[in-house]
Amino acid sequence: MTKDLTKGSPVRLILGFAIPLLAGMLFQQLYSFVDTMIVGRFLGVTALAGVGATGSINFLVLGFCMGICSGFAIPVAQRFGAHEESRMREFVANGAWLAIGFSVVITVFTVVYCRDILTLMNTPKDCFEEAYRYIVVIFAGIPCTFLYNLLSGYLRSLGDSKTPLFFLILSSVLNVALDLLLILVFHMGVLGASLATVISQGVSGLLCLLWIAVRFPILHITREEWRVQGKRMTELCAYGVPMGLQYSITAIGSVILQVAVNSLGSVAVAAATAGSKVLGFLACPFDALGSTMATYGAQNVGASRYDRLNRGVFAASMMGFAYSVLAFAVTWFFGTELVSLFVSGEGGAELIELAQQYMLVVVLFYPLLTLVNVVRFMIQGMGFSAFAIIAGVMEMIARSLAGIVLVPVWGFIGAALGGPLAWVFADLFLVPAYFRCRRHLMSTAHHVHVTSGEEGAVQR
């Protein structure tokens, strides 16, 4: 059930690992897409705006949770690459203890202060209650987010990207069924959409847990390995917290940008929401490449195969560049048809036109997004998670500038430029940082090799 990414063709390994990830992410986007489509078509533009108005704060909080889980998986992948199975399980166990603590604290804080957060974000009054009913349930389901993302991260760190895919497919089907049941039959509105999301993610997390218990003896933890170890927790936090902060710091810029979009009115918010859902589908290959490079980098660093890092980055980047051309063509020819799935009736024509403009501006800059995902996740897999915070700061600055400067001047197009501007800022830091990190690893390895050789000569 495991896969070693330290041997063989990087192109073949990256594709083989990324395709199941991509399929899983597409299904994950599918139930988000269906949520939004049902809300927009059956509950109206106001409800759609309410869901959309929570997008940035949703990303800020859940992004932090998912970043922590991704970071916790890195030392697991490194110890697996180094064939140190007992140490690997110690990281797995201590990561679980930390995840429980983080999930409780974050859930309580966000649920208690949910209304205050939406007020600070200048959420439009006509969709405020819809926004609250949706996001408070999502926040209450944060333990489900931790459960699935932590366990699926552990599975991927051992090279298994297929099992999380199967559970996501099942989860997506369940989510669609619950959407239809709770919204159309029980008339629960946006509350039904959020409940469907939380329940389906909780089911996928439980299935991951069951699968590990039955099929992954390498992850069966002994009583001694379950022991809380401060050293292991410190190392896990050194990986997880920077990755979580990277998402949250980036999301601060998104919140500022969201506040600016909120000031443009409900139609603009709904258009950005619909466009973002379509873009969420189109961006899945970049997310899959990023997750692949984190595992690829971690395993190869654990095995001291530094010569394979550049080859992996080049192969993944070329894949992303080629796909960017395809994504632009899809948006150009089919964008309006895709957005029209979300709306019907009054205000639909204006919303579709705005959403298409939004998508074309963003997709034009997808080659930059390729580098952001490939290089950033490679750096994290190599063990330099702190650099993720700096990249997040760069993106935060860019999105904040878009919200403060571009939106007041250029309106809705200024909002669309927020993402591309963030990618420019991030790439200007990440690309040089990657080569610096690789040189550091190479020089450290060379020093250790020389020192070991000298010690051997003295002993002889």
pLDDT of res. 304 = 86
DSSP secondary structure string, 304-336? T-GGGHHHHHHHHHHHHHHHHHHHHHHHHHHHH
Integer Cα distance of 67 and 214 in angstroms: 27
Helix axes 10-38, 45-52, angle to 10 degrees: 140
* Residue 458 placed within a domain: no
* Residue 275 placed within a domain: yes
Integer Cα distance of 86 and 46 in angstroms: 53
* Residue 216 placed within a domain: yes
pLDDT of res. 347 = 54
Q: Which residue has the tokens 């239809």?
A: 180
Count of structural domains within the chain: 1
Q: Which domain holds residue 35?
A: 10-448
Q: Taking the CA of residue 295 as centre, how many other CA atoms within 13 Å lie in the half-sphere pointing to its CB?
A: 28
Contacts of 114 (CB under 8 A, 6+ apart): 132, 135, 136, 139
pLDDT in tens, 26-78: 776 776 667 777 887 788 778 877 887 787 788 889 989 998 998 899 899 88
pLDDT of res. 198 = 94
Integer Cα distance of 95 and 137 in angstroms: 25
Q: Taking the CA of residue 210 as centre, how many other CA atoms within 13 Å lie in the half-sphere pointing to its CB?
A: 7
Integer Cα distance of 193 and 255 in angstroms: 22
pLDDT of res. 222 = 94
Amino acid at 100: I
pLDDT of res. 457 = 43
What token pair was written down for 53? 């108005």
pLDDT of res. 236 = 95
* Residue 436 placed within a domain: yes
Sites in the chain below the pLDDT cut of 70: 1-2, 28, 31-33, 343-347, 445-460
* Residue 454 placed within a domain: no
DSSP secondary structure string, 336-396? HHHHGGG--STTHHHHHHHHHHHHHHHHTTHHHHHHHHHHHHHHHHTT-THHHHHHHHHHH
pLDDT of res. 430 = 94
* Residue 460 placed within a domain: no
Cα 59 to chain centroid distance, Å, stands at 9
SS3 at position 178: helix
* Residue 4 placed within a domain: no
Q: Residue 15 has what DSSP assignment?
A: H
Identify the helix (H) or strand (E) that includes residue 71.
helix 55-81
pLDDT of res. 455 = 46
Answer yes or no: pTM beyond 0.85: no
* Residue 455 placed within a domain: no
Integer Cα distance of 265 and 271 in angstroms: 10
